[in-house]
């Protein structure tokens, strides 16, 4: 059995920042990751990181824009803390070595993003996440900690009312291991691969969220799933909001700049839920191109601006679509992109289980409410990753020693080895495909009661079939078939939570749009959904939204 004071699961921006904070607090820290840290999905973030650093901007405006963008479901005390930490966080990352793009006067370059009152999105061309990840990785590398790379989290052990540690599978050696720790931080990122059309990496399977849910943690607001308006047509590769921030425009099959119908004041720079619904509506009403896509035009910006500020987008379009965005429009349509929901936490990353913390997209503080503004996610990983690391270190200093048992490991191994011992059964790839097709077709941008009911039936049927899932590959090391089976089980649990929450929320708010309840209902639904795991499925309760200064009002773009 391995022992550490703090174990952080996930090595993207949130996990690395939590680990750094805990190391700086003098704790023995382990960082567990299914990937090399520089392959973490944080590196896929393109457009930028928000901070009110310009003279014409203000922290209060950033706070208000985030509250409004959340469709007033974000907790305003958490949002205020978050936005006030933005400037110092960006400065800290610059001191760590992040090479941000600069304006002509040498100041940090900023671009406008959807839903923002001012251009406050600081960027490194269109590779901002990767620039931040590389800088933080280099900074963390100067400290002493233990790295467990290519380990799959299988469970969180919670006993006696607190976290005791984790069980994980070491792919390289084919062993299951226990790691005892009084503080466990979950920073495993999102679960976007529940959907087939998604901008998320193949590693985004919600492992930490599902493990926390099974251990007794509440999941918060899981029904709110963000669809990014502009994903490359065939591949689903993200085309950053920065493309619209630089002046890109959307046109339908008739050559019409259709956003004037939906957001006449800000056009393409409306919040993501508004733009995604607009594109989907254009397709439903027959004004999109065959297949339901529209064009994103950058040509009018000129070659120098496009190739200097949107380098990665140029590479993606040329490589994966055979299109040169300097001279041709980009075919785009919405794709699943972000989960507003996650493990319920406060601003210090604490969950309802003492000793269990969460940060980044795996967590729900909630600052994004029903809809996240672009540029706030990278900031979230760093602000709340740091807070979770500080809190985890403090808890480890006072908590009793963890008490894992041999049975914790034996039970996990027996359950998982049973998958390999079956003579017949269903392959995880079959279940995963069925789940993705269900979520794509029935739990999308627009939702109906009949479709959601059918989605729940299908997901529960898939969960039943998962009980006989079979791992064909008998390899001891690098058994990706086993990893696929583990991930599929995690995603099926979370898909069920998403659908149950969506059925229950009888209103339209942010990214959750019900055709039978097209209006926002502040009287009955100004509250957070909290899901707890039971043998019969998710049990829902609700908690109030925290207010400070802004009462709900209609969003106008």
**Torsion angle, CA of 369/371/376/382, rounded to 10 degrees?**
50
Alpha-carbon span 29 to 8, nearest angstrom = 7
CA distances from 21 to 135, 159, 189 (A): 15, 26, 18
Of the candidates 374, 192, 400, 352, the one whose C-alpha atom is nearest the C-alpha of residue 276 is: 374
Alpha-carbon span 241 to 269, nearest angstrom = 9
Give the H/E segment covering residue 195: none
- Tell me which of 4, 111, 120, 244 is the catalytic residue: 244
Give the H/E segment covering residue 227: strand 225-232
Length of the chain counted residue by residue: 557
- CB 468: neighbour CB atoms within 10 A? 12
Give the H/E segment covering residue 111: strand 110-111
Three-state DSSP at 154 gives strand
Of the candidates 32, 343, 115, the one whose C-alpha atom is nearest the C-alpha of residue 215 is: 343
State both tokens at 209: 């969220």
Q: Which conformational region is residue 161 in: left (phi greater than 0), alpha (psi within -120 to 50 degrees), or beta?
A: left
Question: Where do the H-state alpha helices sit in 70-154?
Answer: 76-84, 86-95, 128-140
Q: Would you list the DSSP string of 486-532?
A: HHHHHHHHHHHHHHHHHHH--S-BTTBEESSS-S--HHHH-EEEEEE
- φ, ψ of residue 357 in degrees (nearest 5): -125, 160
Return the axis-axis angle of helices 480-504 and 406-421, rounded to nearest 10°. Answer: 100
State both tokens at 374: 């672009």
Of the candidates 188, 177, 159, 39, the one whose C-alpha atom is nearest the C-alpha of residue 487 is: 188
Alpha-carbon span 53 to 289, nearest angstrom = 41
- CB 412: neighbour CB atoms within 10 A? 18
| Catalytic residue check, 173 | no
505, 525 contact by CB (below 8 A): yes
- Tell me which of 17, 110, 228, 528 is the catalytic residue: 228
Return the DSSP state at 401: P
Question: Where do the H-state alpha helices sit in 85-206?
Answer: 86-95, 128-140
| Catalytic residue check, 505 | no
Alpha-carbon span 225 to 336, nearest angstrom = 7
Alpha-carbon span 103 to 100, nearest angstrom = 10
213, 38 contact by CB (below 8 A): no
Q: Which residue has the tokens 């002509």?
A: 104
Give the H/E segment covering residue 149: strand 146-149
Residues forming the active site: 228, 244
């Amino acid at each position: 059995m391995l022992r550490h004071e703090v174990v952080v699961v996930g090595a993207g921006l949130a996990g690395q920042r939590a680990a750094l904070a805990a190391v700086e607090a003098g704790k023995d820290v382990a960082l567990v990751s299914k990937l090399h840290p520089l392959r973490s999905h944080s590196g896929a973030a393109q457009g930028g990181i928000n901070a009110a650093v310009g003279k014409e901007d203000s922290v209060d405006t950033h706070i208000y824009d985030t509250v409004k963008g959340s469709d007033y479901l974000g907790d305003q005390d958490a949002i205020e803390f978050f936005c006030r930490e933005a400037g110092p966080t960006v400065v800290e990352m610059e001191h760590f070595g992040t090479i941000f793009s600069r304006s002509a006067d040498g100041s940090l370059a900023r671009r406008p993003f959807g839903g923002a009152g001012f251009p406050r999105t600081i960027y490194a061309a269109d590779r901002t996440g990767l620039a931040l990840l590389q800088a933080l990785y280099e900074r963390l590398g100067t400290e002493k900690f233990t790295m467990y790379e290519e380990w799959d989290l299988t469970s969180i052990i919670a006993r006696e009312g607190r976290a005791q540690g984790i069980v994980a599978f070491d792919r390289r050696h084919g062993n299951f291991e226990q790691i005892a720790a009084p503080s466990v931080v979950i920073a495993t990122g999102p679960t976007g691969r529940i959907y087939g059309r998604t901008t998320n990496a193949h590693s985004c399977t919600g492992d930490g969220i599902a493990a926390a849910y099974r251990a007794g943690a509440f999941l918060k607001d899981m029904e709110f799933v963000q669809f990014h308006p502009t994903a490359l047509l065939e591949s689903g590769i993200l085309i950053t909001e920065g493309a619209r921030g630089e002046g890109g425009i959307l046109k339908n099959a008739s050559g019409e700049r259709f956003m004037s119908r939906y957001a006449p004041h800000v056009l393409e720079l409306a919040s993501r839920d508004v733009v995604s619904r607009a594109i989907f509506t254009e397709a439903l009403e027959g004004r999109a191109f065959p297949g339901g896509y529209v064009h994103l035009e950058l040509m009018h910006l000129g070659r120098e601006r496009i190739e200097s500020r949107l380098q990665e987008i140029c590479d993606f379009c040329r490589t994966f679509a055979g299109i040169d965005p300097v001279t041709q429009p980009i075919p785009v349509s919405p794709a699943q992109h972000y989960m507003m929901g996650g493990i319920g936490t406060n601003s210090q990353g604490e969950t309802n289980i003492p000793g269990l913390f969460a940060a980044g997209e795996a967590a729900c503080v909630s600052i994004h409410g029903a809809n996240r503004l672009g540029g706030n996610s990278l900031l979230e990983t760093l602000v709340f990753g740091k807070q979770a690391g500080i809190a985890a270190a403090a808890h480890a200093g006072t908590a009793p020693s963890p008490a894992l048992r041999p049975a914790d490991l034996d039970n996990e191994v027996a359950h998982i080895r049973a998958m390999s011992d079956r003579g017949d059964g269903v392959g995880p790839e079959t279940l995963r495909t069925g789940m993705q097709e269900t979520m794509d077709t029935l739990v999308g941008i627009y939702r109906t009661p009949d479709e959601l009911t059918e989605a729940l039936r299908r997901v529960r049927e898939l969960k039943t079939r998962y009980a006989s899932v079979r791992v064909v590959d008998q390899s001891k090391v690098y058994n990706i078939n086993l990893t696929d089976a583990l991930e599929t089980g995690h995603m099926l649990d979370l898909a069920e939570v998403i659908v149950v929450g969506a059925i229950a929320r009888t209103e339209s708010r942010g990214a959750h749009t019900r055709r039978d309840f097209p209006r926002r209902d502040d009287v009955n639904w100004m509250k957070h959904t909290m899901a707890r795991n039971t043998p019969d499925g998710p049990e829902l309760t609700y908690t109030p939204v925290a207010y400070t200064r802004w009462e709900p009002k209609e969003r106008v773009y």
